[in-house]
Amino acid sequence: MSRHPLFQVMLAMDSSRRALPSVAGLELGLLDLPAGNAKFDLSLNVRELTADGAADGLLIALEYRADVFEQDTAEGMLTRYGRLLRAVAADPDARIGRVPLLDAQERRRVLGEWNETAAAETLQDVVARVRSLAAAQPTAVAVTDEQGDLTYRELIDEVDALATRLQESGAAPESHVAVLAERGRLPVIGLLAALAASAAYLPLDTDAPAERSAELLTDADAPLLLAGPEHTGLAVAIAAAAGRPVTVLRPGEAATTAPARPVAAPAADQLAYTLFTSGSTGRPKGAMVHHRGMNNHLLAKVADLGLTATDTVVQNAPLTFDISIWQMISPLLVGGRTLAVGRAVAADPDELFRRVVRERATVLEVAPRCCAPSWRPGTRTPPCPPCRTCGGSSSPARNCPASCAAAGPPASRRSRSSTLTDPPSAPTTSPTPSSPATRTQGARPRRSAGRSATPACTCSATGSSPSPWAWWATCTWPASAWGAAISATRPRPRTPSWPSRTGGEGGRLYRTGDRVRYLPDGRLEFLGRRDDQVKIRGRRIELGEVEARLREQPGVKDAVATVTEGPGGLPRLIAHVVGDADPRALREAMARALPDHLVPSAVHALDTIPLTPNGKTDRKALVTAGEPTAPAAAGRAPRTAQEVLLCMLFADVLGVGRVGADDSFFELGGHSLLATRLVSRIRSALGLDHARRGLEAP
């Protein structure tokens, strides 16, 4: 073996104070000789020095494997260890977590040089910027969706008309305008109109049950709900279940007064939008972002991606995801175009790439993991579109397309992606993760890295000084964004409520929950999460919310949610329950109460939840394999050649052994994203054209 099989780090302490033998005419001393070959990755040898039989200091030597550590890294470890020992010797009561490990030069580099993100351009009013561009280029296309093109002049006219309608209906600073619509022009108009009316934007998930969306309206105290034509019925149901007066507005309704516009630009700390994410307490938490944070984020995207009036940015993220904000608005700040794609196109890599090429889009953000099913060995690899591509999800190396891996690291300007722009889900729990990264690279597929586009530092859990060589929780300065959780039991605060963690530098920070480390050039390398927050089909969820909802069901004594790798490498949510509840009925109850991405693909009944020796849930011991809730071979066998082909495709996409001709796709663990994958596979296998010929994903 190339390494010791039991451990790789050793600490040896020699405090024997033994005397050397006396030899007449000779003065003897100890000579430290290097071994030449490291037995372990790290060996720290400490020996007490003596003078006249008394302790007189320590001699410390660090031996390291040169193929594991750089010399500068090893020397840095030794230097900081010595700094720690001297500080504790000077003050034995000092808390180790508070001892400064960096010297003045290192601290200046981490907090200063690596955070020189100031830019000459500033932005106070997004709507005013778009309005000025509409005056300069009224016929330029601002938004393209399934309905066609919308020019800048048409866009700003729609925004002003809706803003007036919102003001007439009671929109005011700090109030929310909820938007229930699919990707397209309406969310763009709704967001800008809410800002123009001095209100805040709140997107709702069109797939979520009405009762859940009603809870969000109640928590956010939102009086207005703008609904697309196809969601009017759902909007009425949401308003009725909200338990408070909610006015449902429809696009195209005319205002009764002349267009009204804010007299002045919004204040920097005025609320701009709120995004609800999964909450660890069992209830969704709304993360609020003010105008300063939103504007800074948008400008960072414009700079990092080098956006100009010739660019077209693809808007393919769910509207309840923070990425959707910059995808919709950042191109409109420079006279570019937003290309909004429908859910079927966004979930199908082949169709998405075709649309990118056809529309000559120049910027696309897509998670490699979401495209993995189309890049399996033995299948045709869809060509990467000729555009600037970025992504924000880690992915196993086997799921990275060869075309992207071969592309190598992106250019410096394009690789810089804001790692700290997402608002926290709650100051008292784990905030939402950052978006660390750039295009996934073949060399380090699970640890994508990027330089922060906003001032950032790393702190330990105790708030100690930043360090470039350890795993820490990432924090950010107030220049990036601040947020605060809102819920029925937690009213919206006007200022950040979490304590300062700047170590005396001034300014407030929030914890993102990400584990990162600084690379030698100042980039942040993403190492994972410090909590149980995961991503399911591009949506952030807290496993605690799923578990809390399961425990509310009759017959459930305890529940644990885990994530495993499902069909095509996509993450799969699995529930483990203790009690006499029927697993199939539990899944159906969860589907009625939660959005699709929060519903477990399978529910396993257990006698007890396995525990570790210290009494915590032993997630590694949970049974994560097995068939979905419904038996895979319960239906009749296929009879025709076409049924045989379709059953084979169903089984392959779902990752099950066998599927009957009458089995339910969703009862077998399918979901909307896999349904789109299935449609694509069927279309390809049957030789159908890309128009789908009537086939659409549910």
How many degrees, rounded to 5, is the angle at CA 118 between CA 114 and CA 122? 155
Quick: pLDDT tens for 431-441: 232 332 222 22
For the residues 199-207, what does the mean pLDDT come to? 94
Q: Could you give the CA distance from residue 578 to residue 599 in angstroms, rounded to a whole number?
A: 18
Pick the more confident residue, 255 or 125.
125
Q: What is the pTM of this model?
A: 0.74
Quick: pLDDT tens for 226-250: 999 999 999 999 999 998 899 999 8
Quick: pLDDT tens for 515-545: 888 887 888 777 777 777 787 776 778 888 8
Q: What single string gives the DSSP state of each residue in 48-98?
A: EEEETTEEEEEEEEEEE-TTTS-HHHHHHHHHHHHHHHHHHHH-TT--GGG
For the residues 584-592, what does the mean pLDDT come to? 88
Question: Where does residue 179 rank: exposed (0-12), middle (13-18), buried (19+ CB within 10 A)?
Answer: buried
Q: Could you give the CA distance from residue 439 to residue 450 in angstroms, rounded to a whole number?
A: 10
Pick the more confident residue, 611 or 499.
611
From 216, 222, 230, select the one nearest 182 (Cα to Cα): 230
Quick: pLDDT tens for 373-395: 444 444 454 555 667 766 655 55
CB hemisphere CA count around 244 (13 angstroms): 14
For the residues 278-287, what does the mean pLDDT come to? 80
- Residue 628's pLDDT band (boundaries 50, 70, 90)? very low
For the residues 556-578, what does the mean pLDDT come to? 83
Q: Could you give the CA distance from residue 636 to residue 634 in angstroms, rounded to a whole number?
A: 7
Whether the Cβ atoms of residue 115 and residue 455 lie closer than 8 Å to each other: yes
Token pair 């991503």 is found at 535
- 612: which strand partners? none
From 145, 123, 287, 269, select the one nearest 203 (Cα to Cα): 287
Task: Evaluate if residue 316 carries a pLDDT over 60.
Answer: yes
Question: Where does residue 527 rank: exposed (0-12), middle (13-18), buried (19+ CB within 10 A)?
Answer: middle
Residues 6+ apart with CB under 8 A from 506: 500
Pick the more confident residue, 329 or 383.
329
**Mean pLDDT, all residues of the chain:** 76
Quick: pLDDT tens for 448-506: 655 555 555 555 544 555 555 444 444 443 333 344 445 443 444 433 333 333 334 44
Task: Evaluate if residue 673 carries a pLDDT over 90.
Answer: no
The pLDDT value given to residue 143? 97
Q: Could you give the CA distance from residue 319 to residue 333 in angstroms, rounded to a whole number?
A: 19
From 600, 698, 682, select the one nearest 645 (Cα to Cα): 682
DSSP state of 161: H
Question: What does the radius of gyration of the chain's CA atoms come to, in whole angstroms?
Answer: 29
Pick the more confident residue, 351 or 359.
359
Q: Could you give the CA distance from residue 300 to residue 532 in angstroms, rounded to a whole number?
A: 29
